[in-house]
Each structure stands twice: as C-alpha cells, then as structure tokens.
Chains A and B, each alone.
Chain A
Amino acid sequence: MRADYVAKRVGVFLLIVWLAATLNFFLPRLSGQDPVRATLLQQASLGGYVQTGLEAMVKEYEQRFGLDKPLWRQYLTYLGDVSRLNFNYSISNYPRTVNEIIVEAIPWTVGLLGTTTVLSFALGTFLGALLAWPRAPRWMRYLMPPLWAFHAIPFFLLGLILMYLLAFQFNLLPMIGGYRAGSFPGWTLTFVLDVLKHAILPALSIILVATGGWALGMRGMMVTTQGEDYVVFAEAKGLKSLTIFLRYCVRNAILPQTTALALALGQILSGAVLVEVIFNYPGIGTLLFRAVRENDHFLIQGIVFLVIVALGLTTLILDVIYPWLDPRIHYKKA
C-alpha cells in the first residue's frame, strides 16, 4: 500500500515539473510571437561590450528555436534543455549563465523563507493550540485581535510599515539589502551578524503576518476537535487535562493544519518574493524583479521553473510524511 501511495505522489511531482517547463515554453508564445527572440534581437542591436557574445547567442537561438522550425520541434528541444538543467545564459548579465546567478541568490531566499516559515508555523500552531485550551492563562485572549489584524494584510505591506517605523523613523535597523554595502561576504562573525541584522525586518514582516494565520487556523481546528466524541470519552476516562490536550486534541488538530501548510506554500512564496523586492534582499525575489525589469527571459524562465520545482518537491515531501502523522491514510484511496 505504501509504495503505491509514494509512487502516485512522485508521479504528481513529475507532472508538475513537466507543467512548469511547458508553461515556460508556451505562455510567452501565446501572443503568436516569440518574445525571447525579440528581446535577444533587441539586445544584440544595442551594440556594446558584449556584442559578439550576444550575436552568437542570437545565432544559436535561431538555429534551435528559429521561426522555420516547427513548434513541436522547438518544444522538444526546450524540454531537452530543461531536463539537463540548461537554462542558457542570462541576457542582461552575459556572459554569466542563468544557473550561476540563481545559485548565488538561492541561499538567501532559502534562509529567509525557510526559517520564517518554520518559525511562524511552529509558533502559530503552538499559540493557536494554547488559545483553544480552557486552562490557558486569561491574558492570552488579548493576543487574538492583534494576531487577527496582522494576518489580514499581505507580507509586503507589513514590511513597508515596519521599514517606515523601525528603519526610517527610529533608525533601529537597516532599511534594505542583505548586508552592508561594500562589505565582503565571508564566514566572519561581523558579517554573519550583519546579515542577521539585515534579515530582521524582512523576517519580521513574514513572521508577524503568518503566525496570526496559523494561530487562527490551529485554534479553529482545536475547537472542532474538542467537540469530537473521542475527546468526550477521553474526559470520561479521567485523563489528565494535559494528556487530553496533547494526545487527543493537538495530535488530531495538527493533521488539517499540516495539510493547510502544504497548500499555503505557493502563497507564502509569492508573498516572500514581494518582501524581498521591497527590502532589496539579495534572494530569488529581487533577482526576479531585476530580470523582469531587464526583460531577461532566460533568467525569468529559469527562476520560475526552479521555484515551481522546489515547491513541488516540498509538497511531495510533506505528502509522504503525512501518513506517518495520520494512520488512516494508508487505507484510504487518495
């Protein structure tokens, strides 16, 4: 049963990967023209330092994706490239390849996004569970309204507000960037501290907003769970309040909460992209922003593909972990 389940999920993942590549190929061509070619030609005609390189690129592009080639042929060529993770050179940063540039930006985004997502999910779920426990201290009720209010606004909005308050008005934290301009990246203590300092505002904008959402969600699940028959029976068994809370309520409420996490990943990422843009944080988001500005199609496609695949992979991992949390899944048809 188990292998079945995993195989199915992997299949879905591969489907997503294929879909990402296909989207990247077909969407730009929807209007009937090929914007990639247009940009290449445009860049090449501008002349300048990288002229020869770009001309070579244009030549190669014509050869492989030229107008004389039938569409399905171009598509297959494209799929071939993608499966070898060849995303070509960056148009605006020639002669650097897309892969090079992306690889530089990934650690920043993974660091920011990874940490904040895990933190806010853990903190939010914990808070939400506590808020639903009748034995929780009274003052916790007062946490609800601010959590609610924060949760309603997008990450980047809170980011702008925090930027204004903490960086602009009170000058407590740096306004933009991943580290102080001009300093050299390296594993020194000063640099690491500098990075952390610059990460606080972006991280806070995500954490403050997301925690509220998770807390509210978990609280809702807990309330539903507390009404279940097995919780009534647990109480009739004379179990301690803590036992009921942890093993009967939280343990069951965490299931839909985890599902919600898997579903929310796409949204969280979209929000994080905007946060990075606002803070000029050197991650994938800012990279994407620049690529859009400069019409660097190869870079854009590379980023989009990578992100979709990364999300698909994360969802796959969560899906595979899920039966471990919920023993019923083994036996239910997906």
Chain B
Amino acid sequence: MTPAVLRVHDLVVHYHTPQGAVKAADHISFNLKADERLGLAGESGSGKSTMALAILRMIKPPGRIEAGDIWLHEQNLMTLSEEEMRQVRLARIAMIPQGSMNSLNPVIRIQEQIADALRDHGVRLSRREAHERIRALLQSVGLKPQVAAMFPHELSGGMKQRACIAIAISLRPQVIIADEPTSALDVVVQRQVMQTLARVQQELDAAVIMVGHDMGLVAQFVDRLGVMYAGKLVELSPVRDIFTQPLHPYTQMLIASLPSLERKGIFRGIPGLPPLLRDLPPGCAFHPRCPHAVARCQQEVPPFREIRPDSWVACHLVP
C-alpha cells in the first residue's frame, strides 16, 4: 500500500466573531497517499477553503486552528515554527489559487513572481540559469516564453491560472492543493487548465487535493472524493463509489440533483438551507434536511467511520 504523504487528524478550525465561534472545520480527518488525487467538494460555507488554508497553516485571526495534527510524511506541521512552516510552503506543499481572479501581483512581471519564490527559498541561480528555469517552467504549463516578461493584466484568465500553476510547481512540491482552480473560467479553458494540472501532477509524482464546489468537475479529475457539509467531512470514498453507491443522505441527494443528459426528470434540489456555522443544530448537522433522520440523529454527532476499505462516512444510518 502506498504510504500516506499527508495525514490530517482531527483538525478543528474556529473563527471567533462577536456573535460566537464559527466552526469552519469540525474534527476533519483524512489521509492522502503519495500520488493520489483527492477531491474535497461542498457548497459555499462548507469549510473546504478553510481546509486548504489550514493545511498550509495560513488561517488568520479571528480564525484559529484549535486542535488537530497535520502530518507531512513523519513531520507534524503543527509543531513547526513560523519560519520552518514558511519553508514548507511551496517547497513541499504548494497551493494553486483562483489565479484568474487577483492572485498575481499586478505591478510585477511574471518572471519576477516566479523568481522571488525561488529566491526566498534559498535557490541560488545565475541570471541565465534563472531565465532558463523560468522558461522551462512556463513551457511545462503550456505558456510561451514571452509570457515571462509580461504583467498579469496582459494575460487572459486561463493564462493567469496556468502561470499560477507554474509558480506552484517551481520547487517540485510533494503535495499540491488546488483551490477552485477553474471557477470564473469558461468551459474550454477549464479543460485546458485541468489537463495541464493532470500533466504536471504526473511529471512530479505529486499528490493533489482539489477543492471545489462543482462536483462534476472535481469528480472527473480525482481518484477519491470527499464531501463536506457544514464544516464536517461527511463522506470520503473512491469517486466511482460516490456516484454509484453514495452512502450519506446528503451525497445521495446531491447526486440525485445532478441533471442527466440521458434521462428527463423533475429537477430535484435539497430542501432547506445549510445551517449557520456558528449555530449548528445538535447531533448530526444535516438532520433538519435529511429525509431519513431518526431520533438518534438529533442527539449524537455521527462519527466518521471507515465502513468499507477506503470508504468513510459519518452517518448513523449506515451499518
């Protein structure tokens, strides 16, 4: 069995507001294998972006990682100093943000934005070497060498996203976290970006965590898919199983609501609204909207259990 490169154990992240604590991530646990693609899907406010930031220890006040551990190979990231963590970022765990938005510094050229990351991580290169390396990086994501000297506003959305990917892989990280890498891009460009991402992942033999709200898109890319709801991970299974045998009622209703190209039917959403993260219902957070809820669901929080090899779910109704 391939060893886990990243192990998240019982992670808790709270945001402290004057109205109370917002439980953005509530006892999240999962493992990531060395060359695996893991997806984290969920609606807005489900806690998935919080997870991306938390793994990089970039949660800012009023947010705080209250509890839990994050193991990168044998190292517990929670025990590292600020400086040590800074060195982990990009070099070992890299993030790909929503580049088509505002993730690139508008007043600095692309090559500079790649170079400053290399520099701050102690990579000493002559000008020619740096130039070469940047050119090779850009090429690996399908960008022409001319892009290096350009400013971000001169690039299209897709190009900016790929520039961000180039930056993210510049130090050959072991884990890549892609946070909604294709939102705000049109479908054709989405495909290009996803293909680029797949290609670089293979070349690097890196593990990828892909965070997104478009389940269909995420599912096409990943090996395993985790579904998040109200700050909790409610199901985590190989992607095939999620679609053919969804275990958690929320997942089931999500799958059911996807319009199908083959069949015609009534559009079925999920009634109700997700709860406020600072005012969660007792017991299982989904029970007010769950058609199968029983008394136990209102009282006890269902534990996240592995009921089959590689299939985890948090629901009282699953044997």
Binding site for B on A (CB under 8 A): 228-230, 232-240, 243, 247-248, 251-252, 255, 325-328, 331
Cβ–Cβ contact B117 & A239, under 8 A: yes
Bound Cα distance from A234 to B104, whole angstroms: 8
Our pick among B87, B107, B108, B164 for the contact of A233 (Cβ within 8 Å) is B164
Mask, B100-113, CB within 8 Å of A = 1, is: 01111111100000
Bound Cα distance from A252 to B90, whole angstroms: 23
Cβ–Cβ contact B98 & A229, under 8 A: yes
Q: Which residues of B contact A229 (CB under 8 A)?
A: 97-98, 101-103
Count contacts between A and B, CB distance < 8 Å. Answer: 75
Q: Which residues of A contact B86 (CB under 8 A)?
A: 238-240
Task: Output the residue of A235, A238, A239, A252 with the most chain B CB within 10 A.
Answer: A238
Cβ–Cβ contact A243 & B116, under 8 A: yes
Cβ–Cβ contact A232 & B58, under 8 A: yes
Mask, B75-118, CB within 8 Å of A = 1, is: 00000000000111111001101100111111110000000110
Cβ–Cβ contact B167 & A237, under 8 A: yes
With contact pairs A229-B102, A327-B151, A331-B153 given, residues A247 and B108 touching in the complex (Cβ less than 8 Å) = yes
Q: A236-B95, A252-B105 are in contact. List 18 more A-B contacts (CB 8 A).
A: A229-B98, A230-B103, A232-B58, A233-B95, A236-B56, A236-B58, A236-B97, A237-B116, A238-B120, A238-B121, A239-B86, A239-B116, A240-B120, A243-B116, A248-B105, A255-B107, A328-B151, A328-B153
Q: Which residues of B contact A232 (CB under 8 A)?
A: 58, 97, 103
- Shortest CB-to-CB span from B12 to chain A, Å, is 22
Closest to A248 in B: B105
Closest to A240 in B: B120
Bound Cα distance from A325 to B151, whole angstroms: 13
Bound Cα distance from A317 to B10, whole angstroms: 59
Closest to B87 in A: A238
With contact pairs A228-B102, A229-B101, A232-B97 given, residues A237 and B107 touching in the complex (Cβ less than 8 Å) = no
Q: Which residues of A contact B98 (CB under 8 A)?
A: 229
Bound Cα distance from A233 to B153, whole angstroms: 17
Closest to A230 in B: B105
Q: Which residues of A contact B90 (CB under 8 A)?
A: 236-238
Bound Cα distance from A327 to B110, whole angstroms: 13
Bound Cα distance from A327 to B112, whole angstroms: 14
Closest to B170 in A: A237
- Shortest CB-to-CB span from A322 to chain B, Å, is 12
Bound Cα distance from A309 to B105, whole angstroms: 37
Closest to A325 in B: B107
Nearest first, the 9 closest Cβ-Cβ pairs linking A and B are A238-B89, A229-B102, A236-B95, A238-B90, A233-B103, A237-B117, A229-B103, A230-B105, A240-B120
Task: Output the residue of B91, B116, B151, B167 with the most chain A CB within 10 A.
Answer: B116
Cβ–Cβ contact B56 & A247, under 8 A: no
Cβ–Cβ contact B108 & A236, under 8 A: no
Bound Cα distance from A243 to B88, whole angstroms: 17
Our pick among A238, A247, A255, A325 for the contact of B88 (Cβ within 8 Å) is A238
- Shortest CB-to-CB span from B302 to chain A, Å, is 33
B residues 125-174 in Cβ contact with A at 8 Å: 151, 153-154, 164, 167
Q: Which residues of A contact B105 (CB under 8 A)?
A: 230, 234, 247-248, 251-252
- Shortest CB-to-CB span from B197 to chain A, Å, is 16
Closest to B105 in A: A230
Cβ–Cβ contact A235 & B89, under 8 A: yes
Q: Which residues of B contact A233 (CB under 8 A)?
A: 95, 97, 103-104, 164
Cβ–Cβ contact B87 & A251, under 8 A: no
B residues 27-54 in Cβ contact with A at 8 Å: none
